[in-house]
């Protein structure tokens, strides 16, 4: 059974999707054992408490750099014997200490079809603002492994979502969450825990189930 830690910063809607998936046994051979927040007031911590999952706070304001925060996160994750780290709305860029400690074992969900509308500054509603400003007819979500490059790790799963006439960033955000993010993230987590993901260079192979 793989031990999963979910890193959050805000409301925790993607965390809730993972909790719901765990309740219906859709995450095979894995269990969410910790929720770690960058803010003590994040609503995601309340979601974790309600689900009976231990919550921890590694507050960005307590550290003078992202690197110092990352070192503390890495220490805590090792102490908890975590196997998989899931970034679910975590708002800070993690430095190489954590990436070295968890090679191809950190998963992130991005609200666009990478390589479109990604990289530094592309987060939250900004992603959907960029997509609408560009005039794309299709957007979506991507789940990928995390490496040293922002949004640059090997892609695990993607799902396209239509952009509709009159969409606002908020409306598009909600559609992508409901139709893509909340489906892809639990699936990718389960595939990892089942040992069905093999990384070769930039390619992620999904192995058949038993």
Annotated catalytic residue: which of 110, 128, 144, 205?
110
144 is catalytic: no
Torsion of CA 20, 155, 206, 96, to 10 degrees: -90
Asked if residue 182 lies in contact with residue 161, where contact means CB atoms within 8 angstroms, the answer is no
Judged on CB neighbours under 10 Å (0-12, 13-18, 19+), 122 is buried
In whole angstroms, what is the distance from residue 113 CA to residue 127 CA?
A: 10
The Cα 166–Cα 184 span in angstroms is 26
For 35, phi then psi, to 5°, come to -120, 125
Sheet of 138-145, strands arranged across: 55-57, 30-37, 2-8, 84-87, 106-110, 138-145, 155-162
Non-local (6+) Cβ contacts of 98 within 8 A are 70, 73, 74, 77, 85, 106
List active site positions.
110
């Amino acid at each position: 059974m793989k031990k999963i830690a979910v890193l959050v910063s805000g409301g925790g809607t993607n965390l809730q999707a993972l909790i719901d998936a765990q309740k219906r046994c859709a995450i095979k051979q894995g269990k969410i054992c910790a929720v770690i927040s960058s803010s003590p007031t994040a609503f995601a911590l309340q979601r974790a408490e309600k689900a009976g999952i231990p919550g921890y706070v590694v507050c960005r304001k307590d550290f003078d750099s992202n690197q110092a925060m990352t070192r503390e996160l890495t220490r805590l994750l090792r102490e908890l014997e975590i196997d998989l780290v899931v970034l679910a709305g975590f708002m800070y860029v993690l430095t190489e200490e954590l990436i070295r400690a968890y090679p191809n074992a950190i998963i992130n969900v991005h609200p666009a079809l990478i390589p479109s509308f990604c990289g530094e500054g592309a987060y939250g509603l900004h992603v959907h603002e960029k997509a609408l400003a560009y005039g794309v007819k299709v957007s979506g979500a991507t789940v990928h492994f995390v490496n040293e490059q922002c949004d640059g790790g090997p892609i695990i799963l993607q799902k396209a979502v239509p952009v509709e006439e009159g969409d606002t960033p908020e409306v598009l955000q909600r559609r992508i969450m409901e139709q893509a993010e909340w489906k892809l993230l639990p699936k990718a987590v389960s595939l990892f825990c089942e040992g069905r993901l093999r990384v070769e260079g930039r390619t992620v192979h999904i192995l058949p189930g038993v």
